Chains A and B, each alone.
Chain A
Amino acid sequence: MSDDLQTGDLGVSFRQSRKELYFMVASWVVFAGWTISYVGLKGGIKEGEALQLVWGMPEWVVFGILIPWIFGLGLTVWFALRFMKDTDLDPAAYDGSNGEEGK
């Protein structure tokens, strides 16, 4: 489980959120690169070649989509449970901030 970040400092909390944002965008680039390039290269009809099946699916589906999907699942679990930090969301915890809940 991730470390707690309940410092009561909004600036620290904001910088952590921004760090998580950068990680997330970088992950998106990696997964987009994998699926788009692999399927783009391997997914087309190959004249004269028999259809290659893996687990009952076309080969390009397994290596270009299913396997990255499983990795994506693993990364999401790790990101959520290890990388992302808890933050106190209550505005009363920050100096100079007071929510106007439900007005």
Chain B
Amino acid sequence: MTALISFFVYLALVFVLAGIANHAGKNKSFLNEYFLGSRNIGVWAFALTYAATAASGGSFMGFPSLIYTHGWSLAWWICGYMVVPLVALGLLAKRINQVSRIAGAITIPELLRRRFESNAVGNLATVMVVFFMFFFLMAQFKAGAQIMATLLEGVPVYQSAAFGLEALVEGIPWIGEAEGDYLLCLIVFAVSVIVYTTYGGFRAVVWTDVMQGLVMAVGVVIMLVLALTQVGGLGNATKQLSEMTPPEFMEVEVTRGSENTLVEKQLPRGTWLESGGGDIIRLKSATTIQSGADKSESVEAIRLTTPFEIEKVKEQGSVLEGYRYNVVGEVETYAYGAGKRGVYTSTPGPSRDSPSGFITVLIAFSFFAFWNFSGAGQPSYMVRQMAFKDTLTLRRSMVMVAFYFALIYFPLVIIFTCARVLLPGMEIYPDRVMPEMASILTINAGMPWLAGLLVAAPFAAVMSSVDSFLLLVSSGVVRDIYQESINPNANEKQIKRLTYGVTMVVGMLGVLAVMHPPQFLQHLIVFASAGLGACFLMPMIFALYWKKATAGGIVSGMLAGGLTVLALYLAGYMQTGKFGEYLLLGLHPFIWAVVVSTILICLISIKGTPPAERVQRRYFGGEQR
């Protein structure tokens, strides 16, 4: 309960900041203020809004689940962040700010439209932003709802409300199929973010990002200290990891022991059970043994394979007494790493699906490129780069962001390798490892109130991303579609109303879409990042650095980039039947998309008519070479 109070204090602060931001934006040009904070963002605000937007639900929910599942190999997967501040900000920031000011643009599609004097470029950019950004929103909404669900678990009022909501929506197509607790948290989370984003606009988003960025950093530092203390030091944790072997997956029927067979027995998700031979399993979903029956329906479970982990779970008294299980059908083992000690402390890391392991050299290369260049190509970051007030702000912010990322990402790898030691069997719901870890660390430390702050860290990460994405999508619709193509003479009052309305509608559509999200958050986030990076990275680089680039070249590059990512994800789905990418020649779709996009932009621009001398001089000055 104390955790809940500290968490709600944090939420209240977010709303206060949004209110102040709304007040500060009064008497300024609405659109320029609402979508770009009047281009007057200083060092702390720029650095932290950039970093907080980058550190999304993926960083605090999806990434920890991958570290837990694949061990130290995730350090290799994420290490591209060592130069992200240098590359992602150095690549575009100064020029994008300069060109957007010359063009008078306040959105990315608008910048491209004006730079190339082409509606086709602007409209296509808007469609691509809205399409891919929607997948981001879905992932973030799911993450936000899951964090709230973990925090509220066991609170009686919440359980009654969830139960009531489930009964209320029963029978409604699509919505009625969602679980009550998840649905309730999703609605509460979404309404909170939509309200403060709609009310405060870009300035509110930036200010709340600053606070959220600080909360994340403090949360990570506290978790790091608690985790290292509780595992007995990093060396001890790594040694234990080196002895671990991956779990096995199976279907089981739970059977009664000596208990009365007339009584119905409910077994929640996460229940530990022991076989006659001493093995233990953990249920992946809830099941029931009906009264009069002696066994349950078959249910998915994982079986631990590391002896000291099995002993630890037994010693903790977590195994349910009086019940046993029978394995039904085949036992599935990891495609790479089954029974192999050392897989969690080496590369390529264990993998359930891939016989070559989690991360090969080519995938490591792909992600080193992906984090840097796809990061640079995200419209949500580009918009921030249009908003800093001068280059001194940019330079100082690069330094701050570099320290911030080092403080967040590497410690996260350490914290969640420790989680493997402290929380066995989390493979049943890996996306919840972060809030579970926050909860267990603070309970073990005798400070349960601190869980509120620690859980606020990923929650802040999710919020700071959702608000940015909401604003980006609504700016695309209002500025780039309505004002540009439908009603260029709209007055400020009309624009204001439409902006508020669109922000709310986009948010609600996101909520509807995420009633049944895919299991791994990170897959969705990587897909959306790859799609946006593929669409915008090379077109933006050429728009800013090559005066001979043409509208035709940019349209082709944008389309080719987006379609390449879509095609390779579709191929991945057809190959495995799951949402995921197809690694053509071992490389991530983003790499192929960048290559195809670059070739097309160059070829079509060279063959086309160069932009007018007037346009070239306007954006590139008297450049001779």
Question: Which of A's residues lie within 8 Å of B, judged by CB?
Answer: 2, 9-15, 17-18, 20-21, 23-25, 27-28, 31-32, 35-36, 39-40, 43-45, 51, 53, 55-58, 60-61, 64-66, 68-69, 72-73, 75-77, 79-81, 84-87, 89-91, 94-97, 99-103
Does B361 lie at the interface of the complex (its beta carbon under 8 Å from any beta carbon of A)? yes
Separation of A36 and B617 alpha carbons in the complex (Å): 42
Known: A9-B621, A64-B76. 16 other contacts (CB 8 A): A9-B622, A17-B94, A17-B544, A21-B90, A21-B545, A24-B90, A28-B86, A35-B79, A45-B346, A56-B236, A56-B237, A79-B86, A84-B94, A84-B398, A86-B391, A99-B102
With A28-B83, A56-B238, A84-B395 already in contact, the answer to whether A79 and B90 are too (CB < 8 A) is yes
Query: Which residues of B in the span 382-418 have a Cβ within 8 Å of any Cβ on A?
Result: 390-392, 394-396, 398-399, 402-403, 406, 410, 414
Question: Which of B's residues lie within 8 Å of A, judged by CB?
Answer: 29, 31-32, 39, 72-73, 75-76, 79-80, 82-83, 85-87, 90-91, 94-95, 97-98, 101-104, 106, 233-239, 242, 340, 342-343, 345-348, 361, 364-365, 368-369, 372, 390-392, 394-396, 398-399, 402-403, 406, 410, 414, 544-545, 617-625
- Selected contact of A76 from candidates B86, B414, B625, CB within 8 Å: B86
With A17-B94, A44-B346, A58-B72 already in contact, the answer to whether A73 and B31 are too (CB < 8 A) is no
Residues of chain B contacted by A79 (CB below 8 angstroms): 86, 90, 398
- Selected contact of A80 from candidates B238, B347, B396, B625, CB within 8 Å: B396
A29 CB to nearest chain B CB (Å):
10
State whether B618 touches A97 (Cβ < 8 A): yes
State whether B390 touches A86 (Cβ < 8 A): yes
- Selected contact of B242 from candidates A31, A51, A68, A103, CB within 8 Å: A51
- Selected contact of A77 from candidates B83, B233, B399, CB within 8 Å: B399
Residues of chain A contacted by B391 (CB below 8 angstroms): 84-87, 89
Residue of A12, A61, A77, A90 contacting most chain B CB atoms (<10 Å): A61
State whether B361 touches A36 (Cβ < 8 A): yes
With A21-B91, A56-B238, A80-B398 already in contact, the answer to whether A69 and B345 are too (CB < 8 A) is no
Going nearest first, the 9 A-B pairs with the smallest beta carbon separation are A10-B621, A100-B104, A56-B234, A11-B621, A102-B32, A43-B347, A72-B82, A56-B235, A80-B398
State whether A97 touches B32 (Cβ < 8 A): no
State whether A32 touches B545 (Cβ < 8 A): no
Separation of A85 and B394 alpha carbons in the complex (Å): 10
Separation of A12 and B369 alpha carbons in the complex (Å): 29
Residues of chain A contacted by B237 (CB below 8 angstroms): 56
With A12-B621, A14-B620, A87-B98 already in contact, the answer to whether A32 and B346 are too (CB < 8 A) is no
State whether B410 touches A97 (Cβ < 8 A): no
Can you list 23 pairs linking A and B with CB atoms under 8 Å apart?
A: A10-B620, A11-B622, A13-B621, A15-B625, A17-B94, A24-B90, A32-B368, A32-B369, A44-B348, A53-B238, A56-B234, A58-B345, A61-B75, A65-B82, A76-B85, A77-B402, A84-B94, A84-B395, A86-B392, A89-B391, A95-B621, A99-B101, A101-B39
State whether A101 touches B392 (Cβ < 8 A): no
- Selected contact of B101 from candidates A11, A85, A90, CB within 8 Å: A90
State whether B368 touches A35 (Cβ < 8 A): yes
State whether A73 touches B623 (Cβ < 8 A): no
State whether B346 touches A84 (Cβ < 8 A): no
The prevalent SS among residues of A at the interface is helix
Residues of chain A contacted by B79 (CB below 8 angstroms): 35, 65, 68-69
Separation of A43 and B410 alpha carbons in the complex (Å): 17
State whether A81 touches B242 (Cβ < 8 A): no
With A58-B345, A79-B90, A89-B97 already in contact, the answer to whether A2 and B365 are too (CB < 8 A) is no
State whether A11 touches B76 (Cβ < 8 A): no
B621 CB to nearest chain A CB (Å):
3
| A53, closest chain B residue (CB) | B235
Residues of chain A contacted by B72 (CB below 8 angstroms): 57-58, 61
Residues of chain B contacted by A86 (CB below 8 angstroms): 390-392, 395
| B545, closest chain A residue (CB) | A18
Residues of chain B contacted by A72 (CB below 8 angstroms): 82-83, 86, 402
A92 CB to nearest chain B CB (Å):
9
Residues of chain A contacted by B395 (CB below 8 angstroms): 2, 80-81, 84, 86
A86 CB to nearest chain B CB (Å):
5
| B390, closest chain A residue (CB) | A89
Residues of chain B contacted by A68 (CB below 8 angstroms): 79, 82
B319 CB to nearest chain A CB (Å):
30
State whether A99 touches B104 (Cβ < 8 A): yes
- Selected contact of B364 from candidates A28, A40, A97, CB within 8 Å: A40
Residues of chain A contacted by B234 (CB below 8 angstroms): 55-57
Residues of chain B contacted by A40 (CB below 8 angstroms): 347, 361, 364
- Selected contact of B347 from candidates A13, A60, A99, CB within 8 Å: A60
Residues of chain A contacted by B83 (CB below 8 angstroms): 27-28, 31, 72, 75-76
Residue of B39, B83, B618 contacting most chain A CB atoms (<10 Å): B83
With A45-B340, A76-B85, A101-B32 already in contact, the answer to whether A56 and B90 are too (CB < 8 A) is no
A59 CB to nearest chain B CB (Å):
10
Separation of A73 and B242 alpha carbons in the complex (Å): 30
A23 CB to nearest chain B CB (Å):
8
Residues of chain B contacted by A23 (CB below 8 angstroms): 90
Separation of A61 and B394 alpha carbons in the complex (Å): 31
Separation of A28 and B71 alpha carbons in the complex (Å): 26
Separation of A85 and B391 alpha carbons in the complex (Å): 8
Residues of chain B contacted by A101 (CB below 8 angstroms): 29, 32, 39, 101, 104
With A11-B623, A53-B238 already in contact, the answer to whether A73 and B403 are too (CB < 8 A) is yes
With A55-B234, A79-B90, A94-B621 already in contact, the answer to whether A36 and B402 are too (CB < 8 A) is no
With A24-B87, A69-B79, A77-B402 already in contact, the answer to whether A51 and B239 are too (CB < 8 A) is yes
